[in-house]
Structure 1
Amino acid sequence: MSAAAGAALFTDDDALSRALPGYAARAGQAEMAAAVARAIDAGERLVVEAGTGTGKTLAYLLPALASQRKIIVSTATRYLQSQLDDKDVPLAQTVLGRSVHATVLKGRANYLCLHRLNLTEASGDLYLAPKIRAVRDWAARTTTGDLGEFGDLGDGDALWPRITSTTDNCLGQECPLFDQCWVVHARREAQAADLVIVNHYLLFADLTLRESGFGEVLPGADAIVLDEAHRLPDIAGRFFGQALSARQLKDLVRDGLAELDTLGGDMPGLKAKLKDVGNAERRFADALGDAPGNRSWEELETDVRRAARDDLAAGLIALKTGLEPVATRSDRMKALSRRCGELEAALTTVSASDADRISWLEKRGSAWIWHSTPLDVATPFSRAIEAYPGAWIFTSATLAVKNDLNYFCRRLGLTDVTQQVLPSPFDYEQNAMLYAPRTMPAPNTPDFDDAVVSQALSLIEASGGGTFVLCTSYRAVARYGEALAAAGIEVLMQGSAPRADLLADFRQDDGAVLVATSSFWEGVDVRGQALRLVIIDRLPFASPADPVLAARFTAMKEAGENPFMDYQLPQAIITLKQGVGRLIRDAADRGVLAICDPRLFTARYGGAIRASLPPMPITRDQAVACEFLDSLAPA
C-alpha cells in the first residue's frame, strides 16, 4: 500500500465505516489526506489548516502509515502523545488492516534514571523516603521507565528532578547503569519503529543538537508531521536561544557535594568552592528581588545586580579550575567538571545582548531562569529543518488569518510550501451564535470587569451553566471567579484543582461553570450539552511589556514594519480562534460564543478578526443571545 492508497480510503470509505460506526465522509478530510499523500511521496512541504471537525489526525495518519516509510509525528503535549498512541494509531491500524510498529518517545526528564534514584536514596532524605520506596517498587515492574505510568509525580514535585537526568548531569556511557538506562532503551525502540510519536520540545531539542554538530536525539525519517503546529514559533524561540537557571546551579552544587562525600571527603578546598557557587547563586537571586515576572536584563541591571552576576561568574570559574585536576578521580567528577564549564559559558552568553537577541530573566519566588532569546526564529528554523530532507507537514485547526497562511509561514521561514485552508464541516450558521455586547466599557477602564461579570451572570442564568469563562490573565480568573461565586454560582476555578480533575468535574455536571486562562484556551475537548456557552473577556493581545516582544517590536519598527498589524494582531487572531474552538466540538453541538471586548466592533481591525472566525450569525442584543441559550438549557 502507498500513501496515495491510504488517502483513497477516504473516498472509498468501507474500511472507515467498518472501523468507525456512524462514520460520515467529509470532503475536507479527503482533500487533506490527498495533500498529505502527495507531500510524503514527493518529499515536499505542506502547511494545512484543518478546521475543527475535519478529522485531521486520521487524514495524516492513514496516508503516512500506508506509505510504509519512517514517520515522525510531533505534537504539542505529552497528553496528546498518549492520545495518539492509545486511540488514534490503533484506529488507523484497524482501518488499514495491518499492524505498525509505533512508539512514543519523550524527553529524558520523563524517564526514571536508576543511577540518580540510587544517589537520592543514599542521601537519606527522610522527607522523600516514602515516595522513593514507592518509585523503587514501581521501577521493578515497569517495562518503559516512563514516570507518567507512576502517576504520582508532577512537574513541580520535589522528587522528580532528583530521579531523572538532564543533558547537564547525565553520565552517558560512563554511567555505571548505562545498560539499564530507560532513555537509551526508548531511543533504541524509536530507531526500530515505523512511527515515532514525539512532542515539539523533543523535536526542537533534536533540531538544535543536530545544528550544533553534537549528535542527535531522534532517528532519521522520511516524513515529519507537526500537529498543533500553531505552537511552533513560540517554542522555537526558547530552543534556538540559551538559558541558565537557578536549578541547574543548585543541582551542580548538590551533586558535587554528594560526589565528594562518596570519594572520602579529602578535598575540603573543592567543597568550599562548591559552597561558594551555591552562596553566590542565592545572593544573585536575592539581588533580583521578590517581584515575580519577566524583565529584560537591560531593565534589571544595576551595580548591585551586576556585582552579584560577576560573583557568580567568578565562583564558577574558580570551581572549574578546582575540578579540572581531579576530574580523573571518577566518571562523575569528570561530568561535574564538564557541567561547570558549560554553565560558566552559558552565564556569559545569557548576560550579553545584541541586535539579534534579547537577554531577559524569568523570576518565580526564589527560582530564576536567565534567557538569551533570538528575536527572529525564521532563519534558524528554516536552516535546522534542512537536516531532515524528507517531507514536512504542518497542521493545526488555527494557522490562518483571514484564510491566509502567510503569517505562519513567515514566522518559521517556510518557503516553497504548498498551502491549504480547509474550513470546519460543522454548521456554525445553524448551531452557533456570536454575541458581542453593544454597550461595554473599554477593557482598560475600571468599569470593565464589573461589566463582564454582569454579562456573564445574565448569560449563565439563561444557559443554566455549561459555561467556560476564558480569561486573558490570572488576575481576571480570580476577579470573575470570586464575583460569580458571590452571586451564588458554584464555580470551578483554574488553580483550585489539577486541570484533569477540573475537566472531569465539568463534564459530569450539566450546570458547571469553569473560569480559566491560557491552558484551557486550547487542547480541551468537551463535547455535547456539557459546554454550550463560551465567554471570552478580552481579545488576547500579547502584552508589549513582555521583554522578548518589546525587543522584537523595536526591531520590527527599525526594519520599517508595523508590529501591531504584522505581529500582534495575527497572533491574537490565532489565539482567539483556539478559544473559540472550545465551543463546537461535534456536528451536533450547539452554543453561544460571547466576546465582551468592544474592540471587536469599535476598532478598525475588528473586521479582520471577525472575518477569521467561523461563519456564525452575530447578535449585539443580549436578549437574543439569552433566548438562544435558553433553548439549549437542560430541561
Structure 2
Amino acid sequence: MTLEAAVCAAFAADGPLARADVHFMPRQGQTDMAQAVARTIEQGGALVVEAGTGVGKTFAYLVPALLSGERVLLSTATKALQDQLFARDLPQLVQVLGMPVRTALLKGRGSYLCLHRMEAARQAMGVPETAVLRALARIEEWSRTTRTGDLAELPGLDERSPVIPWVTSTRENCVGSQCPRFRQCHVNLARREALAADVVVINHHLFFADLAVRESGMAELLPSVRVVVFDEAHQINETGVQFLGAQLTTGQLLDFARDLLGAGLQLARGLAPWNALAAECDRAARDLRLAVGRASNGAKLRWTGAVPDDVDADAWHTALQALQESLEHVQVALDTVSELAPDFVRLRERARELLAKLARFAGPCATDAVRWLDVGNPQLRIVESPLDIAQAMHERLLRLPSDSAASSTDAGSAEGDGKSWIFTSATLGGDAQLRWFTEPCGLTQAQILRVESPFDYARQASLYIPRGLPLPSDPGHSQALARWIAVAVRRLGGRTLVLTTTLKALRTMGDYLQDAFREGGVDVLLQGQWPKRRLMERFREGATQGRPGCVLVASASFWEGFDVPGKVLQLVVIDKLPFPPPGDPLVEARSQRLEQAGRSAFRDYALPEAAVALKQGAGRLIRRETDSGMLVIGDTRLLTMGYGQRLLSALPPMRRIQTEEESDAALDMLTRASTTDPNWP
C-alpha cells in the first residue's frame, strides 16, 4: 500500500481515527492536505499549505509523517505549542495508529536548568532580592527530582522571573565539556534523546538559532532527518531574520561583567583586579547607552551612515573605543588564569566574540541587510539584519532551484538530499501563490495548496465596522472605540477580546474600560499586568465559580496562538488596520527594495502584511463548529478607501452588519443559549 493510500484509510469514516474517537468526522479538506503531505514525503521537495481554521492541519501532517516511517523534525512557533504537540497530539496519534515511534522534545538551552550555574548562584555574592533567593531554593528542591530539567515543569514559575538567568545557561556562558556537571547536563540529555528519536519536536527560534551558530545540537540532527515540518510557518521569516544577522546588546555586556566578577572572586581571588575590570566593562556598556542621548524608550534609530541617526558622532566613537579597551583589558587578565578553570576559558572566548561584533559594527553594513539601534530603558540593542530568509533557505537548507533555473527544473523537486519540507499555517497570504509567504522564504518554486476552513462563517459569525468612529489618526479614536466596547461588554457580560495595534492604544482603551467597570460586573484584564499564561487561564475561566466574565485588552502575541473556543469568547474587537509601522528600519528597507525593483511597496508589502495580520486576529473568534460571535473592526478606512475591499476579502466570509441596530440585535442573539437556535442569526 502506498503512503497516500494508507493516509486515506486512516482518515476514512471507518478508519483508526474514527474508531478511536466517536467525535471524529472525516473532513475533505483535512484528507486533501494529508494526501498532499504524503505525496511530498514520497517524492521529496517543498509543499506550502494554507489550511484554514478548523481543517485539522496538525493531524493532517502528523498522520502521514508517522505512517511514512521516516525520521521527522517538527518545528512550531512557541514553546507552549511545542509542549501541546509533544504531550497531547503526538502520544494520541502514536497510540491510535499503533506505531512503535520514539518521540523527543528539544528546546533552547534557556529552557533547561543548568546545575553548574545553579550551584554557582548559591555561592555568588551578588544574588539580588529575597524573592530571587526563595525562588532559587524552590528550584534547588525541584532539581533533585526532575529528570528533564525543563523549567516548564515547575508550576508557578513565571517565564519573566529574575531567577531564570541565574539558573540557566546561554551559548555565551556555557563552559561545555569542561563543566563539572557535564555528565548530568539537562541540555545534553535532551540532545542525546533527540538524536535517538524518530520524531523530534522543536521550535522556530531553536531552528534558526542553530542555523546561525551551529550550536544547539541541530547540526547533528538535521542531516539524519528526511521530513521537516514547519507548523505556524507564517512566523519563520520574522523569526529567521532575528538570528541570521548580528546583534550586540548592553545586556550581553552587563551579563559578561557580572559573570566575570563572579568567576574571578570565586575561582581566582587576588590574581587579577576583578572588581575594577568588571566595573570598567559595566561602565563602558552603560556609557554606550548614554551616547545615544535622549532618544525615547522603544525608538528605532536608523543607521545608514558612519553613525546612527541623531547620535553625536564623537560621543558614539568614544563609547565604542572605551568598550573595546575594557574588553581588551579583560582578555589580558583572563590569559593569566585560563588554565585554572573552564569558566575562564569560556569568558575569554566571550570577550573575543564581543570584540568581533564590535569590529563588525565598526565597518559597513552587509549587502541586502539593514542596521539600526533599538533604544530601551536602560538597554540598547545594535542590530544588523537581512531583509528576509530567502537566501539562507536556498543556500543552507532547501537547495531548491532558483527562480532563474525554474524553467528547466521540476518546480516541486528538491536537489541534493531528497528531503521533504512541509510549511503550513492558517494564514500565509492573500493570493493564489501565497507570495506574502513564499517570496521572503525562498519558496516561490514550492507546490502550493490552499484548504478552506470548514466553518460556516455566514451562520456562525458577523462582521461590524462602526461608521461613526473617528479615523485612527484622530487622537480621540481609541477612547471613542472604548466607549462602544463598554456598551457591548455590558450586554455580553464580558466574553470580549480587544486586540490593539499599539501599546498606546492598549493603555488608553484599557484604562477607560477599567474605569468603566471599576464597580464590578466584569473583570478587565490588561496585557502586562500578569504573565501571559495567567491572563489566558483567567480569561478561559470566564464567568464561573461566582466570578464575572472577562474583557482582555492585548496586543502583539495575543493576535495569534490564543485559542478560546466556546461561549467564553464571543466578541473580538480590532482597533485599526494592522499596517506595518512605517518608521521601522526593516519595514523601510523592504519597501525601498520593492520600489527599486519597480514594484509598489504599499500594494506588494504593506497591504499583504495588514491582510495576514487582520486574518490572524479575526481567527481568534471562531475556533469550533459550535462557536458563534461578532468581529468588530474600528477602522472606517475599510469602507472609504479603495484598498478596503481587498482587506475585507482576506477575512472569512462572515455576515456583514450595516447599522447600530443590527449590531445590537446580533449582540443580543449571542446571549441566547446556543447557535443551534433555529432563529440564529
TM-score bracket, normalised by the shorter chain, equals over 0.9
Q: Paired residue for 1:393?
A: 422
Q: CA 1:121–1:611 in structure 2 vs 1: closer, same or farther (change >3 Å)?
A: same
Partner of 2:481: 452
1:501 to 534, 539, 542: 534
Preserved CA contact (<8 Å) 1:472 1:540: yes
Q: Tell me if 1:75 matches 2:104.
A: no
Q: 1:189 aligns with which of 180, 187, 193?
A: 193
Q: Which stretch shifts more, 228-237 or 247-256?
A: 247-256
Please report how far the alpha carbon of residue 13 of structure 1 lies from its aligned counterpart in structure 2 after TM superposition.
Answer: 4.1
CA distance in 1, matches of 2:240, 2:473: 32
Match of 2:54 in 1: 53
Alpha-carbon shift at residue 300 of structure 1 (Å): 4.3
CA displacement at 1:12 relative to structure 2: 4.7
Aligned mates of 2:348, 2:384 — CA distance in 1: 24
CA distance in 2, matches of 1:158, 1:462: 41
Cα distance between partner residues in 1 of 2:226 and 2:525: 45
Q: How much has 1:370 moved relative to structure 2?
A: 1.6
Q: Deviations over 1:541-574 (max 9, x none)?
A: 1111112212332333233332211111111111
* Residues 27, 55 of structure 2: 8 Å contact kept: yes
Offset, 1:37: 0.6
The corresponding residue for 1:485 is: 514
Aligned residues: 635
Residue 208 of structure 1 is matched in structure 2 by 212
Q: 2:664 aligns with which of 623, 626, 632?
A: 626
The one of 570, 576, 597 aligned to 1:559: 597
Question: 1:328 is matched with which residue: 332, 339, 352?
Answer: 339
The answer on 1:144 being equivalent to 2:145 is no
Query: For residues 458-491 of structure 1, what are the alpha-carbon distances to aligned partners after superposition, in whole Å with 9 as ceiling and x for unaligned?
Result: 4334434311111111211221122223333542
- The yes-or-no answer on 1:575 pairing with 2:600 is no
Shift of 1:325: 4.9
How far apart, CA to CA, are the structure 2 residues paired with 1:390 and 1:585?
A: 33
Aligned residues of 1:324 and 1:337 also touching (Cα < 8 A): yes
Give 2:99's aligned residue.
Answer: 98
Normalised to the residue count of structure 2, the TM-score between the two structures is 0.89
Between 1:493-502 and 1:224-233, the stretch displaced more is 493-502
Equivalent position SS for 1:411: coil
Whether the 8 Å CA contact 1:2–1:63 is kept in 2: the answer is no
Cα distance, 1:301 vs. partner? 2.8
Tell me if the contact between 2:497 and 2:552 (Cα under 8 Å) persists in the aligned partners. Answer: yes
Alignment-derived partner of residue 299 in structure 1 = 309
Mean CA deviation greater in 153-162 or 388-397: 153-162
CA contact (8 A) 1:3 1:64 kept: no
- Residue 380 of structure 2 is matched in structure 1 by 368
Q: 1:555 to 1:316 in 2, by over 3 A?
A: farther
Q: State the partner residue of 1:62.
A: 63
Q: Which segment drifts farther, 100-109 or 353-362?
A: 353-362
1:357 corresponds in structure 2 to: 369
Shift of 1:211: 11
The residue correspondences of 1:249-328 to structure 2 (distance < 5 A) are: 249-269=253-273, 272-289=276-293, 291-293=296-298, 294-297=300-303, 298-302=308-312, 303-328=314-339
When residues 505 and 273 of structure 1 are mapped into structure 2, their CA distance, relative to the original with a 3 A threshold, is closer
2:66–2:99: 8 Å Cα contact kept in structure 1? no
Deviation at 1:384, TM superposition (A): 2.2
Could you say if the C-alpha distance between residues 492 and 2 of structure 1 is closer, same or farther in structure 2, counting changes exceeding 3 Å? farther
Q: What is the identity, as a one-letter code, of the residue corresponding to 2:151?
A: L
Q: 2:230 aligns with which of 226, 229, 248?
A: 226
Q: Distance in 2 between matches of 1:624 and 1:403?
A: 34
Structure 2 match to 1:163: 167
**Alignment check: 8 A CA contact 2:293 2:311 kept:** no
| Cα pair distance change 1:346/1:152, threshold 3 Å | farther
Q: Structure 1 residues 440 and 409 mapped into 2: Cα distance closer, same or farther (>3 Å)? A: same
Q: Is contact 1:203–1:218 with CA below 8 Å preserved after alignment?
A: no
Note closer, same or farther for the CA distance 1:135–1:213 as it changes in structure 2 (3 Å cut).
closer
Alignment match of 1:612 (pick from 647, 650, 654): 650
Tell me by how many angstroms 1:168 deviates: 0.8
* Partner Cα separation in structure 2 for residue 450 and residue 50 of structure 1: 36
| 1:36 equivalent in structure 2 | 37
Question: How far 1:166 moved relative to its partner?
Answer: 1.1
Larger deviation, residues 237-246 vs 284-293 = 284-293
CA gap of 1:60–1:40, structure 2 versus 1, over 3 A, is: same
Aligned with 2:380: secondary structure? strand
The question of 1:347 aligning with 2:329 is answered no
> Which stretches of structure 1, 4 residues or more, deviate above 6 A after TM superposition?
211-214
CA contact (8 A) 2:542 2:550 kept: yes
Letter of the 2:254 partner, please give it.
Answer: K
Deviation at 1:619, TM superposition (A): 2.1
Partner of 2:176: 172
Identity %: 40
Q: 2:498 & 2:219 partners in 1: Cα distance?
A: 46
Structure 1, 50-59 or 610-619: larger mean CA deviation: 610-619
Q: What displacement does 1:136 show?
A: 1.4
Distance 2:326 2:219 in 1: 30
Amino acid at match of 2:459: Q
Distance 2:159 2:663 in 1: 41
1:150/1:486 Cα in 2 relative to 1: closer, same or farther (>3 Å)? closer
Structure 2 regions of 5+ residues with no counterpart?
400-416, 544-548, 674-681
SS at match of 2:440: helix
Cα distance change, pair 142–100 in 1 and its aligned pair in 2 (3 A):
same
Aligned-residue offset at 1:184: 0.7
| C-alpha distance 15-354 of structure 1, shift in aligned 2 (>3 A) | closer
Deviations 1:154-183 (A, max 9, x none): 343222112111111111111122111111
Q: Which amino acid aligns with 2:489?
A: I
Greater mean alpha carbon deviation, residues 65-74 or residues 213-222: 213-222
Q: Distance in 1 between matches of 2:176 and 2:216?
A: 18
User: Is residue 2:590 matched to residue 1:549?
Assistant: no
